[in-house]
Amino acid sequence: MAFWALDIAKTALFAQQTGLQVTSHNIANVNTPGYSKQGITLAPYTPIPFPFGSVGRGVKVEGIRRFYDRFLTLQLDRQQSTKSYWEARNEILRQLEDVFNETDDRGLSRAMDQFWRAWHDLALNPQGYAERVSLIGVAKGLAENINYKVRQLIDVEEDLEGQIALVVQEVNRLAAEVARLNVQIVQSEARGQGANDLRDERDRLIRQLSEYVNCSVFEDEYGRVSVLIGGSPLVEGASSSWRMEAQEVPAERRLHIYLVSGSGTRVEVTSQVTGGKLGGLLGVRNGDLVGIRQQLDNFARALIYQVNRLHSQGEGLQRYTQVTGTIKVDDPTVPLATAGLPFEVQSGSFWIRVFGTHGTEEEKEEEEIAVDPASQSLEDLALAINAAFNGEVTARVTDGRLQLEAGSGYELSFAREGDSRPDRSGALAALGVNAFFTGYDALTIGVNSALEASPNLIAAATYSDTAGDNTNALAIAELEGQAVLEGTTLRDYYASLVGGIAVGCQDSERRLELEEAMLQSLENRRSEISGVSLDEEMINLMKFQRAYEAAAKVIGVVDEMLATLISLR
C-alpha cells in the first residue's frame, strides 16, 4: 500500500507541475494579441477494487483546455469586417468632402456666380472690350476650377486602386498562411500534441482577413477551416490554390474582383465583397466616386452645351474669315447621329450670314442649312454648305472637324434674328462652331482659344445689325435661373452634388462610431472568456504550488513509513 501511495503522490506532482506550466504560459502571453487562456483538465485514475471498497490511484491530466467561444469569435470576425468597411469608407468620403469644399472663396459655386455676373456686365456694355476680357478670365477660372476638381477625383481614384491592390495582395498572403496552419494543426493533433496555440494564431489571421474582406469560415471534423467569399473558396482546407485579383473594366469605370484557381478558373465575386476594408474601398471606387464624377461631368456638359447653344447663334463685334469647330467626330462619313458626337444633333436647320468686307446690306447674304442627323454625315453637311454659297463660303472637314472659310473679300457669322431664325438642329453647338466653351465634360472643358485671342468675337448680340444689341449676352446670363439639367438649375444641381457628399460623410462617421462601440463590446466579452487575468493566474500559481508541496510531503511521509518498516527487521 505504501508503494501505491508513492505512485499517487507522483501523479499529483506531475499534475500540479503541468498546471504550473500552463499557468506560466498564460502569464507569459498576457499581452499576446489573439491569445486564449488555457487551463488543465484533471480527472482521477480508475480506482483499484478491494473487498472493502475501491482505492483511488491518483490524478491524471486529461488535456489542456482552451477557453474559447466559437460563436463569439464568428461574431467578432463579422463585426471587425463591418467596422473596417465603414472606417475605409469614411476615410475616402472625407477626402471627397475636402475636394468639394465650398466654404471658402475658391469654391465652384462662387466661380459660377462670377461667371453669370460677368455676362450681366457684358450685357450692360456689349461693346466694352474690358468686359469681354474680364469675361474670358472669369470663364477660364470656372473651367480650371472644374478641371481641378475632376483631376482631384482622378487622383483619389488612382489612390483607391493602389490601396485595393495592396489589400488584395495582403488577402492572398493571409489565405496562404491560414492554409499552412491548417496543415500544422492536423499534424499536431494527429501526434496527440494538441494545437491550442496554432488555433489561436489561425484565429488571429482570420481576424486580420476579416479586416480586409468579409468572409465565411467553416471548420471540418479534422480541425481544418475553409474560407469562402460569397460561396466561392479562397482557402479549402489545406489548399490555398485560389487567389484574389482586381481588374479594371475601363468601359464601366469600375474595378472587378475575381477569385482565380491554380488551373485558371475565374469566379467574379465583386458583388459579394460587401465588407472589410476591400468592401469599403470598392464601394467608394465603384459607387460613390463613379457617381460623383458622372454628376460633375453632367454639370460640365450642361454648362458647355447650354452656353454654346446660345453663343453659336450670336454675333460679336468681329466676324470670322475662318472658323473651325472644336468638336471632332469619329468618322466624318457616317451619319451625325452615329458619328460619336458628345452632344445630340436634332433634325432642323441653322443660318449662316455672309458679308462683303464693307459689311453693307447689299453685300449681305443669309442661307438656311438643313440638317438631318439620321442620314447626313459631316462630309454631307460640308457639301450642303458649299452648295448654298457660290464660293462665298467654303466648308471642309479637317481632322474630323467642320471648318468654314469665307471667300476673298467676305466675312461670315452666325446669327438669329430674334427668335425667328434659331438653330433648331443644335448642330453648331454640337460641332463646336462659334462656341464659347470647348470640350464635352469636366476634364476637357475650357474656353475657346479663338475668343481668348480676339475677345471681340464673343457673341453678345443675336443680330449685330442692331446697334448696342445685348440680347445674346442677356440670354446666356439668364441661364443661371433656368432649369436646364434634370429639372433644376445648374447651381442647384451642383449644390445637390455637394450636399450628397456631405450627407454621405456624416452618415459614415455615425456608422463608424456605432460599429466601433459594438466591436469594443464584443472584445470585452471575449476578454471575459478568453482573456488572461493576472490576478486569477496568481491565485492558480499559489493553488498549484500548495498542491505540489502537499504531494511532496506525502512522499516524505511514505519515506518515513518505509524507513520504520525496514528498521523493524
Amino acid 3: pLDDT = 65
Q: What is the pLDDT of residue 362?
A: 47
pLDDT at 219: 87
Q: Which of 254, 270, 291 is the last residue of a domain?
A: 291
Predicted local confidence at residue 418, as pLDDT: 57
- 142 lies in some domain: no
Euclidean distance between CA atoms 109 and 118, whole angstroms: 14
Residue 314 to residue 227: CA distance in whole angstroms: 67
Rounded to an integer, what distance in angstroms lies between the CA atom of residue 432 and that of residue 439? 9
pLDDT tens digits for 389-410? 888 899 999 999 999 999 888 8
Q: What is the pLDDT of residues 102-144, one digit of tens each?
A: 887 778 999 999 999 999 999 999 999 999 999 999 999 999 9
Grid coordinates representing 468 are 448696342
Task: Report residue 347 as a C-alpha cell.
Answer: 433634325
Q: Could you tell me the residue range of the domain that residue 194 belongs to? A: 161-291
User: What number of other Cβ atoms are within 10 A of residue 530's Cβ?
Assistant: 20
Burial group, residue 49, by CB count within 10 angstroms (0-12, 13-18, 19+): exposed
Nearest to 407 by CA among 429, 424, 389, 423: 389
Which residues contact residue 183 at a Cβ distance below 8 angstroms, ignoring those fewer than 6 apart?
238
In this prediction the pTM is 0.86
The single-letter code of the amino acid at 99 is V
Tell me: do 63 and 165 sit in the same domain: no
The predicted-structure confidence for 63-109, as pLDDT tens digits, reads as follows 889 998 889 999 999 999 999 999 999 999 999 999 998 887 778 99
How many domains, in total, are found in the chain? 2
Name the residue among 22, 69, 127, 74 with its Cα closest to residue 473: 127
**Residue 444 resides in a domain:** no
176 and 286 together in one domain:
yes
Strands in 348-400 per DSSP E: 348-356, 365-371, 393-398
Residue 438 lies in a domain: no
Residue located via cell numbers 434659331: 422
* Nearest Cα to Cα of residue 64 among 45, 46, 44, 37: 37
Q: Are residues 60 and 169 in the same domain?
A: no
Residue type, 182: N
| 240 lies in some domain | yes
User: How much is the pLDDT for 367?
Assistant: 87
Which pLDDT belongs to residue 562?
Answer: 77
Compute the chain's Rg from CA coordinates: 40
Summary mean pLDDT of the chain: 90
Same domain, 62 and 166: no
* DSSP track, 93-142: HHHHHHHT--SSTTSHHHHHHHHHHHHHHHHHSTT-HHHHHHHHHHHHHH
pLDDT at 361: 47
What the block records as the C-alpha cell of 107 is 469654391
Strands (E) in 327-442, as ranges, are: 348-356, 365-371, 393-398, 401-406, 410-413, 437-438
Main-chain phi, psi angles of 40, to 5 degrees? -85, 150
The more confident residue out of 132 and 8 is 132
Percent of the chain exceeding pLDDT 70 equals 96
For residue 341, give the nearest of 262, 257, 400, 299 by alpha carbon: 400
- Name the domain boundary from 246, 273, 291: 291
Return the exposure string of 19-37: e unless at least 16 CB atoms fall within 10 Å of the residue's CB, then b: bbebbebbeebeeeebbbb
d(CA 287, CA 459): 40
Of the listed ranges 112-126, 183-197, 278-292, the one predicted with least confidence: 183-197
Is residue 1 scored above 60 in pLDDT?
no
Q: Render pLDDT for 152-186 as a digit per residue (tens, 0 to 9).
A: 999 999 999 999 999 999 999 999 999 999 999 98
pLDDT digits (tens, 9 = 90+) for 419-469: 566 778 899 999 999 999 999 999 999 999 999 999 999 999 987 666 678
In a domain, 537, yes or no: yes
**Through-space distance between the first and last CA atoms of the chain, rounded to whole angstroms:** 18
Q: Does some domain include residue 440? A: no
State the virtual CA torsion across 456, 460, 465, 468 in degrees, nearest 10: -100
Lowest mean pLDDT of 275-284, 323-332, 363-372, 506-515, name the range.
363-372
Task: Evaluate if residue 537 carries a pLDDT over 70.
Answer: yes
178 within 8 A of 213, measured Cβ to Cβ: no
So what's the pLDDT on residue 220? 86
Give the H or E element holding residue 127: none
Cell of 203: 484565429
Residue 311 lies inside a defined structural domain of this protein: no
Residues 195-211, mean pLDDT to the nearest whole number: 93
Give the pLDDT of residue 422: 74
| 287 shares its domain with 165 | yes
- 73, part of any domain: no
Instruction: Return the exposure string of 494-506: e unless at least 16 CB atoms fall within 10 Å of the residue's CB, then b.
Output: beebbeebeebbe
Is the predicted pLDDT of residue 259 greater than 60, yes or no?
yes
- pLDDT value of position 358: 60
Residues in the chain: 569
CB distance 119 to 135 below 8 Å:
yes
60 and 177 housed in the same domain:
no
Strand order in the sheet with 348-356: 365-371, 348-356, 410-413
Among residues 251, 268, 291, the one where a domain terminates is: 291
Give the pLDDT confidence score for residue 509 in this predicted structure.
Answer: 95
